[in-house]
Structure 1
Amino acid sequence: MRAIIYCRVSSDQTGKAKSVADQERECRAVCEREGWSAAEVLTDNDRGASRWSTKDRPAYRRLAEVLRPGDVLVLWEASRASRDLAAYVLLRDLCASRGVKWCVSGKLLDPNSGDDRFGSGLDALLAEREAEQIRERVLRGKRSAALEGRPNGRLPYGFRRRFDPNTGRTERWVHDPATAPIVMEIIERFLAGESLHAVARDLTAREVPPPNEGVPWKAQRIRTMISSPTYAGLRAQHGQITGKGTWDALVSEETHHRILGILADPARRTSAGPGVKHLLTGIATCGVCGSGMRFFGPKSLKSPTYLCAENSCVRRRAQLVDDYVELRMIALLEDHDIAPVDDAQNGILVAEIERQRQRLDHFIQQLADEQITDESFQKLEKAINAKISAAAAKIRRAASSPLTSRISGPNAAAHWAQLDIVDRRQAIREHLSVRILPSSVGTRQFSIDDIRLLPAERTVD
């Protein structure tokens, strides 16, 4: 008889399931004892089999292709095939229709036998129940960790684990002396107005080890990293901050909200685009149809232009438009009066956030002591989280552009000359809306009246 061996193990083992190598070894021993020929071994490693599992099981899917009439499917135990009753029924019916027998834990079963169908069905129910119990225990552990502020999930860059000497489990996260200063450097440079693209280039040039080996420093990755509430000592679950963590913060909560406020500015772009070379490409718009303007500069054209990308409604010499927009930007920056961040007001808002979190902790304890109902707690939790969100939004709205802060004032022209093309484009996005109108003096002449500059819309939620 031809035997097909299927082995599977998940990453969240309970200590009962053996490794796939051990399963295969025992299944082969059964085949040798019964005189079966092991035609193929199908293995899914680090794959769950419950209805909650999200990873695909390619080896399991191949069973439908591999199993032939008269074969025997060899499993170390029933739960290796499935912990989902619906999936068990599909596999059982497939084997029954092809006359394929099962060998589970060394016992031969016939899917067409009523008694064997009942026994294997009971095993499937027990396997599904065990999966549900494991999931509930994991979820309870996560909820408990969230309420207590204990670390959970992937270790953030800038931290290392401190292990409990008795259990060997993670006790807490502590600052990593090698990488925590890098995180602080990135945040300080960002708040000082340096672009994330420039920071990424510098870190790469200095060969600073990135968070993930083999994955280079990129502006978008840095943006995601510095947005994490972890660095402010806050614990989040499902994207929502659940309270203070048990680890020491690298930055204040106020700084965290300032970072989010700056990154949320719609004038900011997460990417400068591949090899950006021209000042106003994708920034300036056509004054006729509203489409973006693109740079048009073939070798046959003596003077490159900005051209309406959609309908070619408008065309203007690129260098003249760039020069005029830059002069206006420098004049705007020289006169720009930056309102200082109101540290006192931000301090009041941070204190209010902490007060509301303490209220939430109080009601959580009341819920645990059964002094309030779950329904009442949910209403209180919703109201308190709304107040926390409102205070955090006020801190974010108060955040001023770090780039503007760095280059504004009497020396704006000198600062502008030192900016690269990415930062110049960013500054223009933050302050100006550029529209290029049809010529009012003839197609071969340039007039600044045909370039309409308006304040950029900047609304931060």
Structure 2
Amino acid sequence: MSGTTDIYARLSLDRAGDELGVQRQVAACRKFAAEHGWTVRKVLVDNDTSATSGKVRPAFEELLKSDPERMVVWHVDRLVRLTPDLERIIKLGVNVHAVTAGHLDLSNPAGRAVARTVTAWATYEGEQKALRQRAKNDQLAETGKPYKCQRAFGFERDGMTIRDTEAAELRKAADGVLAGRSLNALSKDLNQRGIRTATGKTWRTTTLKAALLSPRNAGLRRHRGQVIGPAAWPAILDETTATALRAILTDPSRSKRGPDRRYLLSGVMTCGKCSGPVVGAFVKDGNKGETYRCQKIHVTRKAAPIDEYVLGLVARRLAEPDAADLFAAADHGDELAELRDELTGARSRLDGLAEAFAAGDIDRQALAAGSRRLRDRIATLEAMVGALAVNPAVSEVASAEDAAEALAALPQDQQRQVIDALLTIKLMPIGRRGADVWEGLDIEWKGSK
């Protein structure tokens, strides 16, 4: 019997990311097709993709649209595990050949009945497995232990032991976020240095954000989407850092920030006429090149001389013996300690409510009301801690033996953070040509008397 066939392969979970599982399926299907004299027209693969999660399977959808003469799969459950998907296959009116489970003739009622029975049992098996896994996960959660699943970045496969090299990268990225660096810039830095995710893939802003926000890294146990208490494994990030990260990365205004700023003082300076923000732009007219200007074009000035002047001004001031006084206003140590104590107490009371409910001391209504009040207070405290967290870039410069040298060594986005912490800068209109750079700048030191 001659003709063509399409091959479909799928693996639900590819822990190593090497696609060896689906490659073995495809090899077996090719051999099966050759033995039957069929020419393989297409090979379609959904790797690391569940057939029961409800998510779209790209290769499966392509298979349905490709009008195959027949299909070859390693096992029927690689193709379908849910009845709605089977019905879509039945509508094609083609036969399905499974290397390990025989032939399903979907052209007649008997064959379709067999296919529906096989799929029903596959669905049952999946549901039973899910119930067993959920019960096991509940037991693990009660003891603060991790699930046996894909390795998390920063931890070994046992989920309990910290992998020091990756933990250091998480701390570095966390410091970057607190210093005002964008997730995009931090992801690029990781990729350029050859640092990969736990699955061996390149970093994206979404994966880095998820890693930094993971309660696991703060030594907290999450179960069914809720943090339920301390974990049995050690924390990579201290509580203050984790809380500050959450405040920053969940701030809705971050989604409106736009692309990374290329200019040192973009967003730091304001227009001396309209008080609007001053941004950097490349202006071709008049050969101006890189410039600063307000959005209403009240002021326009070449960027390089201003950058050089402001960096020099800050560097000279930081070289003075009393430079540390500039950062005194940013010291919220006592206030942070009080907030952290209150936050710890609120979380303890929340745990106590759950224990009281479990013991029958309070009813569900009291549990819900008390939990709502405490969660609201915890959210407020977390935001306050995040707002007072010391910017690592400012701390690094303030504590350096040579503050001016430390400033020069920082990436531009962190230099911007330091300048913004120290100075208020207005770009002023100048009515004459040939004026010095400083004449067009109105600069005040923040916190100065």
Interval containing the TM-score (normalised by the shorter chain): 0.5 to 0.7
Alignment RMSD (CA, Å) = 5.3
Aligned residues: 419
Change (3 A) 1:304 1:420: farther
**Residue of structure 1 aligned with 2:386, choices 396, 404, 408:** 396
CA contact under 8 A between 2:241 and 2:389: conserved in structure 1?
A: no
Query: Which stretches in structure 2 are left out of the alignment for 5+ residues?
Result: 15-20
User: Which one of the candidate residues 151, 157, 169 is aligned to 2:146?
Assistant: 151
Q: 1:363 to 1:6 in 2, by over 3 A?
A: farther
- Tell me the SS of whatever aligns to 2:342: helix
How far did residue 241 of structure 1 move? 3.1
The secondary structure found in structure 2 opposite 1:173 is coil
Q: Deviations over 1:368-400 (max 9, x none)?
A: xx8877777555544443333333333323323
Which protein has the larger Cα radius of gyration, Structure 1 or Structure 2? 1
User: Quick check: 1:256 aligned with 2:252?
Assistant: no
Partner of 1:52: 53
Counting aligned pairs with the same residue, the percent is 17
Question: Residues 307, 20 of structure 1: CA spacing in aligned structure 2 closer, same or farther, 3 A cutoff?
Answer: closer
Identify which of 73, 88, 92 aligns with 1:94: 92
- Provide the residue aligned with 1:246 in structure 2: 232
Residue 92 of structure 1 deviates from its aligned partner by 0.7
Please give the residue correspondences for 1:319-330 in structure 2 after superposition, counting only pairs within 5 Å: 321-322=306-307, 325=310
Q: Distance in 1 between matches of 2:399 and 2:290?
A: 32
TM-score under structure 1 length normalisation: 0.66
CA deviation vs aligned residue, 1:51-95 (integer Å, no higher than 9, x gap): 524362426623542523xxx545555433212222222221211
Residues 409-448 of structure 1: pairs in structure 2 closer than 5 A: 414=404, 418-420=408-410, 422=412, 423-439=414-430, 441-445=431-435
Verify the 8 A CA contact 1:281 1:295 in the aligned structure 2: no
What does 1:256-295 align with in structure 2 at a 5 Å threshold? Answer: 256-258=242-244, 273=260, 276=262, 279-281=264-266, 283-286=268-271, 287-288=273-274, 290=276, 292-294=278-280
Q: 5+ unaligned residues in a row in structure 1: which ranges?
A: 162-169, 457-461
| Number of the residue aligned with 1:337 | 328
Q: Say if 2:10 and 2:45, in contact at 8 Å, map to a contact too.
A: yes
Partner SS, residue 39 of structure 1: strand
Which residue of structure 2 aligns with residue 174 of structure 1?
161
CA distance in 2, matches of 1:77, 1:156: 31
Q: Report the residue type matching 1:56 in the other structure.
A: R
d(CA) in 1 for partners of 2:34 and 2:309?
A: 83
TM-score w.r.t. the length of structure 2 is 0.68
**Equivalence for 1:61:** 62
Post-superposition CA distance 1:387-425 (Å, at most 9, x none): 333333333233233333444599997467645462332
Q: Is 1:359 matched up with 2:357? A: no
Pick closer, same or farther for the CA change 1:429–1:8 going to 2, 3 Å.
same
- For residue 383 of structure 2, what is the amino acid of its counterpart? A
Aligned to 1:459: none
Of Structure 1 and Structure 2, which has the larger fraction of its residues in helix? 2
Distance 2:172 2:13 in 1: 36
Q: Which residue of 2 aligns with 1:125?
A: 120
User: CA offset at residue 247 of structure 1?
Assistant: 0.7
Partner of 1:62, secondary structure, is helix
Q: Any conservation in 2 of the 1:150–1:245 contact (CA below 8 Å)? A: yes
Could you report, residue by residue, the CA deviation over 1:251-306 in whole angstroms, capped at 9, with x for unpaired residues? Answer: 54245335656878989x999958x5x542454344459364336698996x9873
Q: Does 1:109 align with 2:105?
A: yes
